Chains A and B, each alone.
Chain A
Amino acid sequence: MTSQTIGPRPSVMRRILPQLVILAVALALNVAVFPEFFEIDFRNGRLFGNLIDVLNRGAPVALLCIGMTLVIATKGIDLSVGAVMAIAGAVAASVVVDGHGWGTALLAALAAGGLCGLWNGLLVAVLRIQPIVATLVLMVAGRGIAQLVTEGKILTFDNPGLIHLGAGTVAGVPTPILIWLALGALVTFVVRKTALGMLIEAIGINERSSRLAGINSRVLLVCVYLVSGLCAALAGVIVAADIKGADANNAGLWLELDAILAVVIGGNSLLGGRFSIIASLIGALIIQSVNSVILLSGLPPEFNLVIKALLILGILVIQSPRIGNYIYLLKASGPQPEPDAPASRPTKEETAR
């Protein structure tokens, strides 16, 4: 797949190897606490099994992290995706409650999510507000808007078409799995088969240089936030369909943080630049596998957050520029590493200018 891409990178396998190893460890832990973890049954025209559950339950975060990966690659961040999920779910529910079909509902939800993404994109690209601040606005106000749509209730529905998106199956495979796999493949394909991926990376690494090289950074920035909004909308519809109702207060609550976490676990730098959607998706699966271990081991689910926090801390330490320099020095200077890195000092000073 890589052989045809623009800006060929040193093999996808090597890039995602660390993530695969972590995933393997997480899955092995699952097996350790629950030996039948990998067993998959086919009953009533549907696949059942813990592995399927991991793939299915991981769908919302997987969808979010597709858009989030692109946003973070441009040195941005989208804090609003959780709130956008709530808005999209509310819109979809209210449309079917009004008697329209599931197709209309899906389109309306996507339009709402797209609008939110556009808003974020315009704040970031045109008004030049830093992403964390710009998307904070919608993060704060978004749930209010969702409640406005649902009028404060949990809006339940029984439209089979819409429910199918969250709880149904296609050829025995739960629909959410197919949706995130398809979208992940589609977006990866588009950014790597065209020059989009390289241009996005260029913006994230050095926007000024990219603009001077003739890249239309403004439009590209708006686009990545738009994609993020659309991904969030899709995730919101799936979550709403799964519980057959739109819960403006709790739908997608704190999922923006899980999505960011997935991207970070995927080895993508929060400082922008090189990205891998596949690695982010594996990151999402890692998070879900960890959730699964806790669930299966009978550990109280309370430990979930603590483990997540430790996971972030571990990754922080690995990604830290300081530690990176230190490891580099260890490798470079052999037996006698210079502890205070004199060689790295001038470069640090210069980049800070």
Chain B
Amino acid sequence: MTDTHTPDAPVLHARGISKFFPGTIALDDVELRLMPGEVHALLGENGAGKSTLIKCLTGAYRRDAGTLLMDGQEIHPVSTADSQRLGIGTVYQEVNLLPNLTVAENLFLGRQPMRGGFIARRRMNEEARAVLAGYGLRIDPAEPLTAYSVAIQQVIAIARAVEMSGKVLILDEPTASLDHDEVQLLFDVIRQVKARGLAVVFITHFLDQVFAISDRATVLRNGRVVGECLLAEMTQRDVVTMMLGRQLEARTKARDVGPAGKTLVEIDDLGKRGMMAPFSLNIREGEVVGLAGLLGSGRTETANLIFGVEPADQGRIALRGQDISIKNPRDAVAHRFALCPEDRKIDGIVGDLSVRDNIILALQARQGWMRPIPRAKVEEIARSYVRALDIRLASLDMPIRLLSGGNQQKALLARWLATNPAFLILDEPTRGIDVGAHAEIITLIEQLRADGMALLVASSELEELVAYSTRVVVLRDRQQVRELTGDQITPDNIINAIATEEVA
């Protein structure tokens, strides 16, 4: 499988790449061969090492071992700008262009056409128009970038990367926030780039897209290469098996769902214009409702609307049959709701405060500033959760930002469990944490359910959702598309529910 016959020499050949972070091996002896005129998919689950590998290629990280050969010559990019000069262009998920400049200015920043010491604006705009027309875009390059949709901005970013670099184009989840037609537009552009003889690296979670556009794939798992293959010879199932490292069927275990209790939260037509189509959802005590869907499908938006992070502009929420009003997180906390957000760094931890303060933060906020929790009580709460959740730390006084991802996540769980919530929302509770903590958090979710708590868990890891959910709601394009219960809950069914809509 690894030894496919190759007519050409690779444009970029990464050999024996290793990268260590304190406590973990992010990349272990990884090889990547990029052929000219080929789209090469880089596949793997979250945390498999895809983005670390990309950062090593583009000079954002310094690799700890291994060689990079560009057309047979060894290269040592030290920054993204440096790798750009060497011929490696990168386009990220969030567009990395400047919103305050025009399209042409973005396209030509740093290499504007000059005349007599000044930028030749008209010529720049004309050239920009010509370049973009080559990618099938007929737009006014003198308009500000933000006048155009994300898809068009993405194409502009690709055009810039190709024009500047010209050998390798890395696309890091470029389609995450695009709809079907926009993806097709992007694919047309990728085909043109390929036809020009560039090597394209394509990273995505969407397997359909991988098979639609890619010629070859390298699959990573836990920082190692599982295999390199020609996609024409593979099925989706083969690839998924390589990524997960086990047969899917083997994992769908028989779940012991206890009897769920009374309905706790009823959500009716909750929605917000410009953010999330109205949705309804009932959650009972002793029940875990899973939220499945691709990135940008509305998982986080659902959680944020229920918790009042973004106030809804329609619909109602009832708690134990009583209508309640949630205009902000404070209201939600007052009704014993809790939300562990997706982005720990931005929405979760208060980095410079001690672990202790972070754990009691929500409880203290609910009590109000006038009634400080006595020191002894604080100590008791913090210690008991550190013990119960096995949070590894040197001292409760250390700033929480110094903890590892998994321990930060557990401390955040402790923050919310300390408020004794009736309804716990977890948004991607296991993203970016190590295997041990991963398993512990899943066990904890099951245990909380058994104790009668109502949980709503959003996750992109299907295996995980299947393991603990009593029901799974599938989202697409910020709408609920399917609800799965009982034996219906299998990764295949979830993928089908997401994909049927996708293909249509």
Q: Hey, which bits of chain A sit against chain B, CB under 8 A?
A: 3-10, 193-196, 198-199, 201-202, 205-206, 208-216, 273-274, 342-343, 345-346, 349-351
B365 lies within 8 A of A345 (CB): no
A195 lies within 8 A of B330 (CB): no
Q: Give the chain A neighbours of B357 by CB distance below 8 A.
A: 6-7, 198, 201-202
Not counting A7-B378, A214-B334, A345-B61, a sample of 12 additional A-B residue pairs whose C-beta atoms are within 8 angstroms of each other reads A3-B375, A195-B364, A195-B370, A195-B372, A199-B364, A201-B350, A202-B350, A202-B353, A273-B352, A342-B62, A346-B21, A346-B60
| Assembly CA distance A152 to B378 (angstroms) | 56
Q: Which residue of A lies closest to B379 (CB)?
A: A8
| Assembly CA distance A342 to B361 (angstroms) | 34
| Assembly CA distance A111 to B352 (angstroms) | 35
B231 at the interface (CB under 8 A from A): no
Convert B303-331 into 0s and 1s, putting 1 for each residue whose CB lies closer than 8 angstroms to a CB of A.
00001010000000000000000001110
B369 lies within 8 A of A7 (CB): no
Q: Give the chain A neighbours of B351 by CB distance below 8 A.
A: 205-206
Q: Contacts A10-B397, A208-B346, A350-B345; is A214 near B366 (CB within 8 Å)?
A: yes
B283 at the interface (CB under 8 A from A): no
Which of B345, B356, B364, B375 has its CB near the most chain A CB atoms (within 10 A)? Answer: B364
Can you spell out 19 A-B residue pairs with CB atoms less than 8 angstroms apart? A6-B364, A6-B372, A6-B378, A7-B354, A199-B365, A201-B353, A202-B350, A205-B350, A210-B361, A212-B329, A213-B362, A213-B415, A214-B332, A214-B366, A216-B365, A273-B353, A343-B22, A349-B60, A350-B345
B375 lies within 8 A of A8 (CB): yes
Which of B330, B347, B370, B373 has its CB near the most chain A CB atoms (within 10 A)? Answer: B330
Q: Give the chain B neighbours of A10 by CB distance below 8 A.
A: 397
Q: Give the chain B neighbours of A212 by CB distance below 8 A.
A: 307, 309, 329, 339, 341, 347-348
A216 lies within 8 A of B62 (CB): no
| Distance (whole angstroms) from the CB of B355 to the closest CB of chain A | 11
Q: Give the chain A neighbours of B368 by CB distance below 8 A.
A: 195
| Assembly CA distance A212 to B333 (angstroms) | 9
| Assembly CA distance A346 to B59 (angstroms) | 11
Q: Contacts A10-B397, A213-B329; is A4 near B352 (CB within 8 Å)?
A: no
B349 at the interface (CB under 8 A from A): yes
A202 lies within 8 A of B361 (CB): yes
Q: Give the chain A neighbours of B21 by CB distance below 8 A.
A: 346
Q: Give the chain B neighbours of A196 by CB distance below 8 A.
A: 369
Q: Give the chain B neighbours of A194 by CB distance below 8 A.
A: 369-372
| Assembly CA distance A138 to B273 (angstroms) | 37
Q: Give the chain B neighbours of A9 by CB distance below 8 A.
A: 397
B345 lies within 8 A of A351 (CB): yes
| Assembly CA distance A210 to B350 (angstroms) | 7
| Distance (whole angstroms) from the CB of B414 to the closest CB of chain A | 12
| Distance (whole angstroms) from the CB of B192 to the closest CB of chain A | 30
B345 lies within 8 A of A215 (CB): no
Q: Give the chain A neighbours of B353 by CB distance below 8 A.
A: 7, 198, 201-202, 205, 273
B347 lies within 8 A of A198 (CB): no
B328 lies within 8 A of A193 (CB): no
B375 lies within 8 A of A205 (CB): no
**Which of B332, B352, B364, B372 has a CB less than 8 Å from the CB of A193?**
B372
| Assembly CA distance A342 to B20 (angstroms) | 11
B369 lies within 8 A of A211 (CB): no
Q: Give the chain A neighbours of B345 by CB distance below 8 A.
A: 350-351
A216 lies within 8 A of B372 (CB): no
Convert B384-421 into 0s and 1s, putting 1 for each residue whose CB lies closer than 8 angstroms to a CB of A.
00000000000001000000000000000001000000
B347 lies within 8 A of A5 (CB): no
| Assembly CA distance A342 to B61 (angstroms) | 8
**Which of B55, B61, B328, B346 has a CB less than 8 Å from the CB of A209?**
B346
| Distance (whole angstroms) from the CB of B373 to the closest CB of chain A | 7
Which of A193, A215, A273 has its CB near the most chain B CB atoms (within 10 A)? Answer: A215
| Assembly CA distance A214 to B338 (angstroms) | 9
Q: Which residue of B lies closest to A4 (CB)?
A: B375
| Assembly CA distance A345 to B370 (angstroms) | 42
